[in-house]
């Protein structure tokens, strides 16, 4: 893609275009971020916190405007887009409030006497490579803690999100960030490679596909630079025989079909114990068929279009492949007719390990329903995946659910609720879902120099 463009997925119309950065513009962006780091690294933590607090307030003040931007860019239903803006404001405010404490020196006991502290310092210019599915949220969980650390940020957004990218840069500028502290770059993939290799860029954070993560990690590794990767997921949603079925169905709807199913930690595999499988399946399919699909600008719409026609067509190919290999569509199973990148909300059953869909991430409004004999079989199926982002367990016996959570090979487990996010909770996975953590105190620790400062004991008045 030569340009960054807003192509409204509800209509297919191109509404705005922005050219790629020139090589001179790219050089100026890196130089600006490096120059800003030399000042920002020495700023008081109170100054950094105050900036983030002003950014949080700006998101709150511009909530409706910002929500409408991403609804046009990637089709997120307007109501859900507003919720995303709310979450973003909470992230910036969380680090404004808690960041100074996270950066406090950590005193260490010293066996030989004297004193030792670990001091946290920024590393330099960081490159963030962000996806389209949560245009503001993904950026906030990278930018907020790292700006609090004293790093500066180059932000390369998805090509279909230029308007939200510019809005975020404008918010930082109007909040009083010095030039170069937060810089948007409309870079191509080739230019991203150049940025990763640049000695002034000290680390890279990517949220995106497994393929993109592997490519970026290889390039960063060759340059001896740290990366944080949040990649795909195929989260299991386990329903045990003692679960509240009605509640579990509601959670499974939200967990799978929020954001039109385009979330890495969505509940993509619904694993239900046989004892309640009939009840769950009937209620779940009925609920899916009752979802409101339509214009994402309408406040009552729950499911909008997929982010693009290409995304719709890719999902269609995966679903058709599953059906050809023997899966059954309990409802849906195809794109919706008419303009826009709409796909009917779908529930597949009968997906087995010899089918491609069993091993794929289905990024859209498609749930795969599995029946298993018991909890042990549920755990085995949940772990039979190359992904390890998140999972959820639903049971009236919380102690039992926690015991099952310990057996799941994932980075996050929710009990009796769908997987979600919050500013104070670490987010990240294992296996091919990536490595590193964002949000919470852990999000402050990825791109920071934990410098040891050791002071010898004084003996006889001489150090």
Q: Which residues contact 254 (CB under 8 A, 6 or more apart)?
A: 418
CB distance 346 to 329 below 8 Å: yes
Q: What is the DSSP string of 310-335?
A: HHHHHHHHHHHHHHHTT-EEEE--SB
Q: How far apart are CA 124 and CA 200, in angstroms?
A: 8
β-pair partners for 286: none
Q: What number is the average pLDDT over the span 2-22?
A: 94
DSSP β-bridge partners for residue 343: 335
- Res. 202 pLDDT band, cuts 50 70 90: very high
Supply the mean pLDDT for the chain.
97
| Tokens standing for residue 380 | 């085995």
pLDDT of the residue at 2? 53
- Looking at residue 459, its pLDDT comes to 72
pLDDT at 461: 54
Bridge partners for 412 per DSSP: 390
Phi/psi for 148 (5° steps) reads -65, -35
CATH: 3.40.605.10, 3.40.50.150, 3.20.130.10, 3.40.50.720. Which one for 3-231+433-453?
A: 3.40.605.10
269: β partners: 236, 368
CA atoms of 225 and 58, how far apart (whole Å): 33
Residue 42 three-state SS: coil
Look up 230 and say whether it is catalytic: yes
The pLDDT value recorded for residue 458 is 82
> Which CATH architecture best describes the domain 236-415?
3-Layer(aba) Sandwich (3.40)
- The model's pLDDT over 386-440, given as tens digits with 9 standing for 90+, comes to 999 999 999 999 999 999 999 999 999 999 999 999 999 999 999 999 999 999 9
Write the CB contacts of 74 (distance below 8 Å, at least 6 apart in sequence).
Answer: 9, 132, 133, 135, 160, 161, 307, 308
The residue annotated as part of the active site, out of 230, 281, 361, 446, is 230
Q: Can you read off the two tokens belonging to residue 345? A: 């909300």
pLDDT of residue 87: 98
Backbone angles phi, psi at 317, to 5 degrees: -65, -40
Q: Of 65, 85, 72, whose CA–CA distance to 136 is shortest?
A: 85
CA distances from 190 to 65, 122, 201, 345 (A): 32, 27, 16, 36
Residues 55-105 have pLDDT tens digits of 999 999 999 999 999 999 999 999 999 999 999 999 999 999 999 999 999
Report the C-alpha gap between 314 and 307 in whole angstroms: 11
Name the percent of the chain lying above pLDDT 70: 99
| Given the residues 84, 163, 169, 264, the one annotated as active site | 264
The residue-averaged pLDDT of 191-200 equals 98
By DSSP bridging, strand 269-273 and strand 236-239 are parallel
pLDDT band at 460 (very low <50, low <70, confident <90, very high): low
Domain 3-231+433-453 shares a fold with domain 236-415: no
Q: What is the mean pLDDT of residues 277-294?
A: 98
Give, to the nearest 10 degrees, the angle between helix 162-174 and helix 63-74: 160
SS3 251: helix
pLDDT of residue 338: 85
By C-alpha distance, which of 34, 292, 73 is closest to 180?
A: 34
Would you list the domain boundaries of the chain?
3-231+433-453, 236-415
Q: What is the mean pLDDT of residues 11-30?
A: 97
Is-above-0.85 flag for pTM? yes
What per-residue confidence (pLDDT) applies to 1? 43
- Check if 406 is active-site: no
Strand residues in 60-217 grouped as ranges (E): 106-108, 115-122, 125-129, 152-156, 182-184, 201-207
- Would you call 32 helix, strand, or coil by DSSP? helix
**Span 325-347, pLDDT tens digits:** 999 999 999 999 889 999 999 99
b/e per residue 17-54 (b: at least 16 CB within 10 A)? eeebbeeeebeebbebbbbbbeebbeeebeebbebbbb
User: Which pair of structure tokens corresponds to residue 412?
Assistant: 């996050």
Residue 294 CB neighbours (<10 A) = 17
């Amino acid at each position: 893609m030569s340009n960054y463009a807003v192509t409204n997925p509800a209509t297919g119309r191109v509404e705005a275009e922005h050219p790629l950065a020139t090589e001179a513009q790219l050089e100026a962006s890196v130089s600006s971020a490096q120059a800003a780091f030399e000042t920002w690294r020495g700023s008081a933590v109170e100054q950094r916190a105050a900036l983030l607090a002003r950014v949080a307030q700006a998101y709150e003040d511009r909530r409706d405007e910002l929500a409408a931007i991403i609804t046009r860019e990637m089709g997120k239903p307007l109501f859900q887009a507003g919720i995303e803006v709310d979450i973003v404001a909470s992230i910036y405010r969380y680090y404004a409030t808690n960041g100074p404490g996270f950066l406090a020196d950590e005193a260490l006991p010293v066996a030989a006497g004297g004193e030792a502290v670990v001091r946290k310092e920024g590393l330099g210019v960081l490159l963030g490579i962000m996806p389209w599915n949560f245009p503001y949220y993904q950026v906030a969980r990278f930018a907020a803690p790292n700006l609090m650390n004293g790093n500066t940020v180059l932000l390369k957004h998805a090509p279909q999100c230029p308007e939200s990218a510019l809005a975020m840069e404008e918010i930082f500028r109007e909040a009083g960030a010095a030039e170069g502290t937060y810089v948007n770059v409309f870079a191509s993939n080739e230019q991203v490679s150049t940025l990763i290799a640049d000695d002034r860029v000290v680390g890279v954070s990517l949220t995106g596909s497994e393929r993109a993560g592997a490519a970026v990690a290889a390039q960063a590794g060759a340059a001896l630079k740290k990366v944080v990767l949040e990649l795909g997921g195929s989260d299991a949603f386990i329903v045990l025989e003692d679960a509240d079925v009605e509640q579990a169905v509601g959670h499974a709807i939200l967990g799978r079909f929020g954001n039109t199913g385009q979330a890495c930690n969505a509940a993509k595999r619904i694993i239900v114990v046989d004892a309640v499988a009939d009840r769950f399946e009937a209620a779940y399919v009925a609920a899916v068929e009752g979802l409101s699909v339509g214009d994402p600008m309408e406040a009552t719409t729950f499911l909008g279009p997929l982010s693009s026609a290409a995304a719709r067509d890719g999902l269609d190919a995966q679903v058709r492949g599953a059906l050809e290999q023997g899966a059954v569509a309990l409802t849906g199973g195809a794109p919706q007719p008419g303009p826009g990148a709409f796909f009917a909300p779908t529930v597949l059953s009968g997906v087995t390990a010899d089918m491609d869909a069993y091993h794929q991430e289905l990024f859209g409004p498609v749930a795969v329903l599995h029946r298993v004999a018991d909890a042990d079989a549920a755990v085995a199926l949940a772990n039979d995946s190359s992904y390890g982002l998140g999972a959820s367990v639903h049971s009236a016996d919380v102690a039992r659910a926690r015991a099952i959570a310990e057996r799941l090979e994932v980075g996050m487990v929710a009990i009796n609720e769908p997987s979600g996010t919050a500013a104070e909770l670490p987010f990240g996975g294992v296996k091919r879902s990536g490595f590193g953590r964002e949000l919470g105190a852990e999000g402050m620790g990825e791109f920071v120099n934990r410098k040891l400062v050791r002071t010898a004991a004084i003996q006889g008045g001489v150090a």
